[in-house]
Structure 1
């Protein structure tokens, strides 16, 4: 990229600057600390110049937006054509309450829905199960049956909105419910647009809402791949998530590396099941976090795009360019939000959202200022949504593609993150892949070590968190927080009792028996789950059948 003679000239000029200018300043005023690093331990130099990109090949490293290796974006015009999809992750209490919140957000300009499910739903239990006690509707909406799903999307035309559902172990069941609701609206599956998270490996690593062992879980995932490729072609069949690993303490590099290690495992499982790479790979999607270090986050997204393109082309032999495109949703970092001085979170979220946009995200959720304390209020979610809208319509950052491309610092960070992430992936490959690395506890330990080091830096004030370990103030207890009424649990139990009394229980038993036989065989399970859902078998009953056949996952000891 640069001629040797020009590099020598720049090198000499830099040395003179350091000697004549910098040294004089440092003799009077020292820098804030001896060493500056990103969250991933990448050392940050004082200044970046062409000397840091000596071997930089524009066509190889960057190219152009919409073309391999997609470093600069997956669309030629990016946000000049249309903005990213603005989503707000929402769901609490009953389907009725969540339906009201969705309609409110759509009225405020939200472009797509993002459904949060309560903990019992996430782990496949009905609201009247003993283990669900005290958790119904608390961290998301309670969905026990197709009836709840019908209420959740009442009055919302599913052929007009894109819906993302954060659900993993019972993903096949919730997707089946969504398909069934659409059919009741007169909408065929091929018209549905959205995403199901469906990423079980990261549950074993960082989040814990798993049900079944690895092998049957992977079967359910590949069954969804196959079923949707034929019947729901516009649906993103998995959202491979680094977000939750980052929330658990992973660095930016670990987030990329472990997400792609899991993605490789899913691709290999699909190929083993007989699917063709270019039949399912275009519908793979990803989910990343956006943290406070603006430049590291922008570089992370750019590095991830380039690395994924190389993996798909060179490792798996994908031919369709769409198979090589990293399409991802971003959520601002919940773990960075503080209960202290919660209005400060508005600024944190703005920086994080800006990083996601500068990094070329396809979809974005901005956290609300009060989420370190409770589920967000309507006022808080409106401010969070307005943050995205102001970035989109007022900041000007969406008017040019990859505006930080060519920055010496950003390109250097992009290269470093790609290189360090690939080193992790190669190490995991040598262990036997992601599932082996998870079973041995390797990924979990790496993330826990990073989380421990981060906490030590906060406690030693090496890392400053405004309002937490510096700039504290006396604060009154927070007011007007959203609280889920304890009556929600009783309402859900009553609905379940009424449903079980009024449905055709002979038909329910038949479809559950059919599902059980299919679980013991090799058929694709999606048609059987869809029939069970349409018969109003409950989530807990369907997952109960699969628990009986598949068993439950037991986490390894990693200490």
Structure 2
């Protein structure tokens, strides 16, 4: 009791001193808020945190996983350093992959060009001007073989940012592995495969929601039996945040989407503990350092409770939210691009202190062009310095127990639960997407942020404050302007040298499968083996499923 009395007296004295200073400097009285509109107090004390926070905090590797999903976290091993790369041709990207692996990268992450992402071949009129621009062009199995040339697929984990045609690209990866002598049960990696966030924020969708969900659950079922080490979906908040959402919206909308995928899999007859251990998440690492740390901690706790209490999952791995983080591309500036190195470092550190399982750090020049080799290396070195020089990996969850962190974690959890209740009232994530609810919420949040930047209320160093009149122009990476012609010629050669009768037969089998209810993954793998192209396979599915045109 004496200790509590002493604390109360000291706290009262501190408040008096604070008020005295604030009266002398009234301009400093403004209320600070996080991106999620959570008011930030001037000081956090034991009185700030919710009663029972010790139980919610728990221990690392134990339910509800607030402090991390592994008991030893980075004292066991560091996160996977998975730099996102892809541009131009498969051969060029292969060179960049092998360079990054030589520099100490521990996993691959593939960026595909826009035609590939929306199921068009490089010679399609819809692909004109976009081939190889924002990622690598993949038209057929021949391109995937070139992309993964001399990369041992039984030793390297690969993440592929692909959604609507995810089944096709995964099929290509499986077949290339087989050609290397690596069986499907030995390959590991992740496909993004999250179509709901495409409707919400990103836009690289092809098919309407219902057949898209069928493809996703087909992948779940196929991989649970045949590719057990593969993460069958990366439920993505990253793009929701890039579109302008708050931290709480990013978390709420992503978790709502995750619940929709679980519901779809259960409706398809799968058992929760058959597929839930291979669900993964993908979050944004944004600027507000402490809010981001708290967001990641809240995410684990919320998902664990949902999986245990709502879905009755029994396996420990079914309860654990595993996630990859990429730092925020939307915060990078074309002005004074070297400042982006600092932004990336802060965001990456927040992801590490929040307990990420893998991490991509953006390059300093990505607001201007695809990264140069030098800037990609600096981005990777940023992770390596955090891992090996900063000391933040020496202990598990070093910020756990901070009054501010625990209070923020609780506040974010409350806001997320409010959003989830609203989405549930609308009929779930798919219905909320169809009604445009999440889209409107994100647009409003983005609008409010932009107003603050333009008014100067929110400072962006080098852009709206601390600017330079004459900035040096950095050296930029350029995509070969002849790439579309070269890719089209390569595609023509593939078509001339394959067995066209087998191609026609395989595509017809896929068409008949799409009309029925059988799992489509084996049919797509057969198409890929006979060098059917991405555009041909997606073209058949377009004819049977239709195309989504938005709300």
TM-score by length of 1: 0.97
Deviation at 1:63, TM superposition (A): 1.0
1:27-75 C-alpha deviation (Å, 9 max, x unpaired): 323454511000110000000001112513412x011111100000000
Query: Contact 1:282–1:322 at 8 Å: present in 2 too?
Result: yes
Q: Is 1:416 paired with 2:411?
A: yes
Deviation at 1:480, TM superposition (A): 1.7
Q: Which runs of 5+ in 2 are unaligned?
A: none
Aligned to 1:534: 529
CA distance in structure 1 between the aligned counterparts of 2:549 and 2:493, rounded to whole angstroms: 35
Query: Contact 2:22–2:28 at 8 Å: present in 1 too?
Result: no
- Aligned CA-pair RMSD: 1.1
Query: Contact 1:10–1:51 at 8 Å: present in 2 too?
Result: no
Give the total of aligned pairs. 551
Deviation at 1:477, TM superposition (A): 5.6
CA distance in structure 2 between the aligned counterparts of 1:440 and 1:7, rounded to whole angstroms: 52
Q: Is 1:436 paired with 2:458?
A: no
Aligned to 1:389: 384
Aligned to 1:16: 13
Aligned to 2:103: 108
Q: Is 1:249 paired with 2:244?
A: yes
Query: Contact 1:515–1:525 at 8 Å: present in 2 too?
Result: yes
Q: Is 1:49 paired with 2:45?
A: yes
SS at match of 1:444: helix
CA distance in structure 1 between the aligned counterparts of 2:473 and 2:513, rounded to whole angstroms: 52
Query: Contact 2:50–2:407 at 8 Å: present in 1 too?
Result: no
Map 1:458-537 onto structure 2 (within 5 A). 458-476=453-471, 478-537=473-532
Aligned to 2:78: 83
Deviation at 1:219, TM superposition (A): 0.1
Map 1:280-319 onto structure 2 (within 5 A). 280-319=275-314
Deviation at 1:81, TM superposition (A): 0.7
Query: Contact 2:206–2:548 at 8 Å: present in 1 too?
Result: yes
Aligned to 1:29: 25
Deviation at 1:9, TM superposition (A): 5.1
CA distance in structure 2 between the aligned counterparts of 1:159 and 1:100, rounded to whole angstroms: 19
CA distance in structure 1 between the aligned counterparts of 2:110 and 2:53, rounded to whole angstroms: 42
Deviation at 1:514, TM superposition (A): 0.2
CA distance in structure 1 between the aligned counterparts of 2:335 and 2:29, rounded to whole angstroms: 26
Aligned to 1:401: 396
Aligned to 1:350: 345
Deviation at 1:7, TM superposition (A): 5.4
1:38 to 5, 13, 34: 34
Deviation at 1:172, TM superposition (A): 0.2
Query: Contact 1:508–1:535 at 8 Å: present in 2 too?
Result: yes
SS at match of 2:34: coil
SS at match of 1:364: strand
Query: Contact 1:222–1:270 at 8 Å: present in 2 too?
Result: yes
Aligned to 1:135: 130
Aligned to 1:376: 371
Aligned to 1:268: 263
Aligned to 2:362: 367
SS at match of 1:34: coil
Query: Contact 1:300–1:417 at 8 Å: present in 2 too?
Result: yes
SS at match of 1:148: helix
CA distance in structure 2 between the aligned counterparts of 1:34 and 1:26, rounded to whole angstroms: 10
Deviation at 1:17, TM superposition (A): 1.5
Deviation at 1:228, TM superposition (A): 0.2
Q: Which runs of 5+ in 1 are unaligned?
A: none
Query: Contact 1:146–1:177 at 8 Å: present in 2 too?
Result: yes
CA distance in structure 2 between the aligned counterparts of 1:479 and 1:16, rounded to whole angstroms: 53
Deviation at 1:11, TM superposition (A): 3.9
CA distance in structure 1 between the aligned counterparts of 2:502 and 2:95, rounded to whole angstroms: 33
SS at match of 1:51: coil
CA distance in structure 2 between the aligned counterparts of 1:32 and 1:348, rounded to whole angstroms: 25
SS at match of 2:480: coil
SS at match of 2:370: coil
SS at match of 2:159: strand
SS at match of 1:399: coil
Deviation at 1:6, TM superposition (A): 5.7
1:101-150 C-alpha deviation (Å, 9 max, x unpaired): 00000000000000000000000000000010000000000000000000
SS at match of 1:239: strand
1:424-447 C-alpha deviation (Å, 9 max, x unpaired): 001100100001110111000000
Q: Is 1:225 paired with 2:224?
A: no
Deviation at 1:225, TM superposition (A): 0.2
CA distance in structure 2 between the aligned counterparts of 1:119 and 1:7, rounded to whole angstroms: 61
Structure 1 stretches of 4+ with a deviation exceeding 6 A read: none
CA 1:301–1:389 in structure 2 vs 1: closer, same or farther (change >3 Å)? Answer: same
Deviation at 1:459, TM superposition (A): 1.1
Deviation at 1:8, TM superposition (A): 6.1
CA distance in structure 2 between the aligned counterparts of 1:12 and 1:197, rounded to whole angstroms: 54
TM-score by length of 2: 0.99
CA distance in structure 2 between the aligned counterparts of 1:381 and 1:30, rounded to whole angstroms: 46
